[in-house]
Amino acid sequence: MATLTRDEARARAGQLQVHTYTIDLDFTRGEDTFASTTTVRFATRPDTANTEAGTDTFIEIRPHTLHRATLDGHDLDPGTLVDGRLPLTGLTPGDHELTVLADMPYSHTGEGMHRFTDPADGLTYLYSMCCMTDSPLVYAAFDQPDLKATFDVTVTAPEDWTVLGNGIATPVAGAPGRWRCATTPPISTYLMAVAAGPYHSVRTEHAGLPFGIHVRRSLAPHLDRDADEILGITRAVFDRYAEILDEPYPFDSYDQAFVPEFNAGAMENPGLVTLRDEYIYRSAVTDTQRQLRGVVIAHEMAHMWFGDLVTLRWWDDIWLNESFAEFMGYQTLADAVPTYTPWTEFAVDRKAWGYDADQRPTTHPVAPEPDGVPDTASAWLNFDGISYAKGASALRQLVTWLGQDTFLAGVNDHFARHRFGNATLADFIDAMARASGRDVHAWADAWLRTSGPDLLTPDITENTGPDNTWTLTLEHRGNRPHRLHIGTYDGAQHRATHDIELTADQPATTLTAPGNRPDLIIVNDGDLTYAKVRLDPHSWTTAQNVLSQLPDPLTRTVVWNTARDMVRDAELPPHAYLEAARHHLPTEPETAIVESVIAFATTQITDRYLAGEEPARTEALTLLTELATDLAHHATARQDDAKHLIAQRTAIRSATGEAPLRTWLADDTTGRDPELRWQILYRLATLGATDETEIRAEAERDPSAKGEEGAARCLAALPDPEAKATAWHALFDPADTLSNYLFTATAQGFWQPEERQRDLLRPYVERYFPAAAGVATRRGHALAVATARHAFPHPFTDHATLTLAEAALREPLPQALHRKLTDESDDLRRALRVRERPWT
């Protein structure tokens, strides 16, 4: 497949104006391919056409078989299709019609037209994923975001299937299995969407529009149980957007299809949002998980305006889509559902994702310069914590500076000027400058065109003389302006909040206040800005005693993020972080904080920083087990189901012996929760306390897609040479039989940090790097990312692994794999610094 460059896209946009796509899809042709017929009506711009030779361009399609293509009634040679591009030569000025007939391949990697057969009941489901370059796996397209067109889509499917599309889909009278979707407004090619299968649906109407939620039939009872909650959030955020945005909802319906084996969290297809069906919970979940589902719903609805109504012109402005949807998703959910506190989860979890990405060598500005995104392969790499979390944090700073009313005035101006069109960073900044009368361009240069987090470090002096004052000198290392709060506390009691404004070029600022110095001084209290911060030594000592008692959860997240960052920077011993968690989490009321802190403690500290370090790792697991016990005790006393569930998960994850796991597995409550059962069995497998027979028996007990994944993860985790060889073959054999989700589950199970597995796994470390390159080359972007993220030998935190990784990076690799291996190598260096620091 040829990669589309920015220059090619700019040239084609100057040549063509695309009017309509008429697409006919036939899903009754078998299990391997479907029929796709595309008719595109477009015009060659007269001012760009070569009047003698005509205009030369191309359309993209990546078929199984290209049967026929006609341009203005004349046959084109199918043999001219090369690397997914069909040349169109000698185009005269004016209107043209191109028709392409092809058989297209079904996908099992979540790209193009994904086909999934549910192991629970044998029913088959399809859905499209056209972002960002995969429309040509479904239909012939001038596949770039600034060639918008209307879409007319018709689908032939088995008679008992439901069909969904961007516009309202209705059965064609007298043609069983035939469906026609209403014509869309002008949208970009990557937003075309279809879902088809025997979906179970819950439908309603709101604000005069049909709303629907859809899921495969085996999950129907779980959808029905949560339908009121999902639809209630959908209505609430829809109404909130209607309050703050002048432009009405721009499409004719709002469907949300929860689909299997989805690579992203969700996709903002106009009128048909697709979401991963793990959001339809079949087991117990915490309130944080439910809030996260609400954030995703609000995020994708924001895209109906931020991305779908007004779309980026080229992929250097991903932030115009994702940063806005991220910010608006959290803010709108907080406004629309007052019982939720989503900004706490954002602060303690999403921002950590952004900070981590921003400190790696692959960091990039939120809005890169145009030459920073020269082609679509480069653009794929920027769907990361910077484009989402850091970008949303930057927008939160912009709102803090301008005020919400002014910000929304600029947003509405932006939509009015570019509705159903395309826009750039400059267009948006112009709208904000018009609305505010301020130099937003300078703000954008400082916040959006730079990379890396600023560092804010306090230094405290105390005047014990007659003036009785204390002074904070806030050192600023970086190049962004900041508007933030300094919070002061006597013990856990809030004393005062001080507003601070730092200019971009200001290396430090001072604050002097009367009285004795506070026990605790917190920089960026309330988490208004995006920057690494530190506590002065006296404040850190206080924080270790009062952290869980601080009154505001956002204050506590700032302290926890500081501690996490200090561990990663080898400034705080990992054991000190674990001790703080042990002391404070049992009484921490916010489950988002509890879950995030425990996730860092397990995935990073015990399984990376302490992997192979005995007895330190066993001691850490014992401490986490004690923490789980205390969590359960407090949860029982407060009748806190979410905290009790976290306690169960933590106890399972940190267990070092078989006996408690067997007790939990036999418990009646656990017996009714398939996810907990798989977690227990996974830990037993990791410890070598189960076998293939028991795992397969559990898979028969749970004959679902999640059961398949659980079994694959457990089988790969067994500390047995044959089990490891089988898992390795499934992951890396060129037959490539695993779907994206089964690949991920197998990879997650394979590498284990347990001491008894190290000798068994060590020979595979060297084999990993060439094997990963093979998968990435054969299977494309999604599997390249999965191979680096989930199959990297994380437990082998040593210089030998780093040497192998650095050698691999010197070889030619697919861009997605190279980017992720660069990140993993940097994380490995960071982990080595932590391990090798001589803590006293």
Q: Please give the single-letter amino acid code of residue 725.
A: A
Distance CA 80, CA 61 (A): 12
Give the C-alpha distances (Å, rounded to integers) separating 735 from 118, 378, 773: 22, 28, 15
Q: Which of 475, 483, 480, 485 is nearest to 452 (CA)?
A: 480
Does residue 547 lie within any of the structural domains? no
Q: What is the pLDDT of residue 497?
A: 97
Length of the chain: 840
pLDDT tens digits along 789-798: 999 999 999 9
Residue at 557 is within a domain: no
How many secondary structure helices (H) and strands (E) does the chain include? Answer: 28, 28
Greatest pairwise CA separation for the chain in angstroms:
95
pLDDT at residue number 840? 72
431 and 467 assigned to the same domain: no
Angle subtended by helix axes 815-836 and 781-790, to nearest 10: 10
**pLDDT tops 70 at residue 50:** no
pLDDT at 342: 96
CATH number (domain holding residue 478): 2.60.40
Residues 591 and 702 in one domain: no
Look at residue 619 and give its three-state secondary structure.
helix
Average pLDDT of the segment spanning 356-366: 96
262 part of a folded domain: no
What pLDDT is attached to residue 363?
A: 96
Question: What phi and psi, each to the nearest 5 degrees, are found at residue 95?
Answer: -80, 145
Residue 713 lies in a domain: yes
The CATH number covering residue 72 comes to 2.60.40.1730
Same domain, 801 and 664: no
Instruction: Give the CA-trace dihedral at 416, 420, 422, 424, to 10 degrees.
Output: 30
pLDDT at 2: 82
Please say if the pLDDT value at position 668 is more than 80. no
Q: Work out the burial of residue 721: count CB atoms within 10 Å of its CB; fewer than 13 is exposed, 13-18 middle, 19 or more buried.
A: exposed
pLDDT of 49 above 60: no
Question: Does position 428 have pLDDT exceeding 60, yes or no?
Answer: yes
Residues 804 and 680 grouped into a single domain: no
Q: By percentage, how much of the chain surpasses pLDDT 90?
A: 95
Question: Residues 834, 733: one domain?
Answer: yes
DSSP state letters, 192-227? --EEEES-EEEEEEETTEEEEEEE-GGGHHHHHHHH
Contacts of 829 (CB under 8 A, 6+ apart): 802
Strand duo 178-181 + 150-156: pairing? antiparallel
Average pLDDT over residues 399-411: 96
CA distances from 88 to 44, 81, 699 (A): 11, 10, 52
Q: How far apart are CA 683 and CA 660, in angstroms?
A: 11
In tens, the pLDDT along 734-763 reads: 999 999 999 999 999 999 999 999 999 999
Nearest one of 361, 423, 435, 453 to 398, comparing CA atoms: 435
Residues 623 and 763 in one domain: no
Percentage of the chain modeled with pLDDT above 70: 99
**Would you place residue 671 in the very low, low, confident or very high pLDDT band (cuts 50, 70, 90)?**
low
Is 508 within 8 Å of 475 (Cβ atoms)?
yes
DSSP symbol at 600: I
- Look up the CATH number of the domain holding residue 322: 1.10.390.10
> Does residue 1 or residue 426 have the better pLDDT?
426
Residues 592 and 666 in one domain: no
pLDDT grade, residue 463 (50/70/90)?
A: confident
Residue 175 and residue 92 in one domain: yes
Residues facing residue 99 across a β-bridge: 39, 70
- In sequence order, the β-bridge partners of residue 515 are none
Q: What is the pLDDT of residue 54?
A: 83
pLDDT given at position 371: 82
**Nearest Cα to Cα of residue 155 among 130, 192, 118:** 192
| For range 79-95, the mean pLDDT | 96
Q: Are residues 464 and 420 in the same domain?
A: no
475 is catalytic: no
Strands (E), 464-592: 469-477, 482-490, 493-502, 508-514, 520-523, 532-533
Q: Check whether 52 has a pLDDT greater than 70.
A: no
User: What pLDDT does 72 receive?
Assistant: 97
What would the pLDDT profile of 673-695 be if each residue is shown by its tens digit?
A: 999 999 999 999 999 999 999 99
Average pLDDT over residues 281-297: 96
Residue 240: in which H helix or E strand, if any? helix 220-244
pLDDT class of 815 with cuts at 50, 70, 90: very high
State how far Cα 786 lies from the chain centre. 13
pLDDT in tens, 378-392: 999 999 999 999 999
Q: In terms of domains, do 346 and 461 share one?
A: no
| Sequence-separated (6 or more) residues with CB below 8 Å from residue 763 | none
Do β-strands 194-197 and 162-165 pair in parallel, antiparallel, or remain unpaired? antiparallel
Q: 3-state class of 804 per DSSP?
A: helix
Does some domain include residue 215? no
pLDDT reported for residue 635: 87
What is the C-alpha separation between 223 and 209, in angstroms, rounded? 21
Total domains present in the chain: 6
Count CB atoms within 10 A of the CB of residue 708: 19
Name 746's Cβ contacts closer than 8 Å, sequence gap at least 6. Answer: 712, 713, 715, 716, 727, 730, 731, 738
Residue type, 833: R
For residue 699, report the phi and psi dihedrals to the nearest 5 degrees: -65, -35
Q: Give the domain-ending residue among 380, 413, 448.
A: 448
Average pLDDT over residues 564-582: 97
What does the pLDDT look like over 704-723, one tens digit per residue?
Answer: 999 999 999 999 999 999 99
Q: Which of 300, 595, 708, 709 is catalytic?
A: 300
Last residue of a domain, one of 718, 737, 763: 718
Rounded CA gap, 19 and 147, in Å? 9
Alpha-carbon dihedral of residues 758, 761, 762, 763, nearest 10 degrees? 150
Res 639: pLDDT: 84
- Which of 150, 171, 198 is the last residue before a domain boundary? 198
On whether residue 275 sits in a domain, the answer given is: no
Query: Using one digit for the tens of pLDDT, what is the confidence trace for 174-205?
Result: 999 999 999 999 999 999 999 999 999 999 99
Does the pLDDT value for residue 466 go beyond 80? no
Report if residue 679 sits inside a domain: yes
SS3 98: strand
Residue 22: domain span: 6-198
Contact 474, 509 (CB under 8 A): yes
- Give yes or no: residues 599 and 505 share one domain: no
pLDDT tens figures, 220-258: 999 999 999 999 999 999 999 999 999 999 999 999 999
Task: Please check whether residues 194 and 90 belong to one and the same domain.
Answer: yes
d(CA 214, CA 217): 9
Residue 205 lies in a domain: no
